[in-house]
């Protein structure tokens, strides 16, 4: 079995952690100001890493275009609840719930606190 545990660089680990927990209903498994592990049903959903810590070469310069070539894609059990959560967070919603003819699923798109592009799909 192969699993991907995505790590993104963020300005504020604690604020981004709170954003994703409220948006997706996931929970903190690590906590802290430099690194966070977010899980759902004992599976890693996303890891957050503070910009510039530990000298990882792709996480050194927050001035470069954030997320170029990257889409964070999440499947959720309750799309309407995730959408309501996004609205409560005053998230930058780019496209409200709509049907995607490629995936044959309903989804919505938004930006997170660090301007990463997210697709939330049923």
3-state helix, strand, coil in the chain (%, to 5): 25, 35, 40
DSSP per residue over 78-110, as a string?
Answer: -HHHHHHHHHHTT-EEEEEEEEETTTTEEEEEE
Average pLDDT, the chain: 92
Does residue 32 belong to any structural domain of this protein? yes
Does some domain include residue 1?
Answer: no
Tracing tokens 């498994």 back to the chain, one arrives at 29
In which domain, by residue range, is 106 found?
7-121
CATH number of the domain to which 107 belongs: 3.10.180.10
**C-alpha span between 6 and 101 (Å, rounded):** 26
What's the whole-model pTM score?
A: 0.86
pLDDT level of residue 76 (50, 70, 90 thresholds): very high
Per-residue pLDDT at 58: 79
Q: Is residue 2 part of a domain?
A: no
Could you give the number of structural domains in the chain? 1
Query: Could you read off the pLDDT of 33-70 as tens digits, one per residue?
Result: 999 999 999 999 999 999 988 777 778 888 887 777 78
The answer to whether residue 117 is domain-embedded is yes
């Amino acid at each position: 079995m192969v699993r991907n545990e995505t790590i993104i660089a963020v300005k504020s680990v604690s604020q981004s952690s709170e954003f994703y927990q409220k948006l997706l209903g996931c929970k903190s498994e690590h906590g802290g100001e430099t690194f966070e592990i977010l899980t759902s049903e004992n599976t890693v959903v996303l890891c957050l890493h503070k910009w510039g810590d530990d000298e990882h070469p792709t996480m050194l310069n927050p001035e470069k275009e954030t997320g170029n070539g990257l889409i964070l894609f999440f499947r959720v059990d309750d799309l309407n609840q995730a959408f309501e959560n996004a609205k409560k967070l005053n998230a930058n919603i780019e496209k409200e719930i709509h049907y995607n003819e490629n995936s044959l699923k309903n989804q919505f798109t938004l930006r997170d606190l660090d301007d990463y592009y997210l697709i939330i799909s049923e």
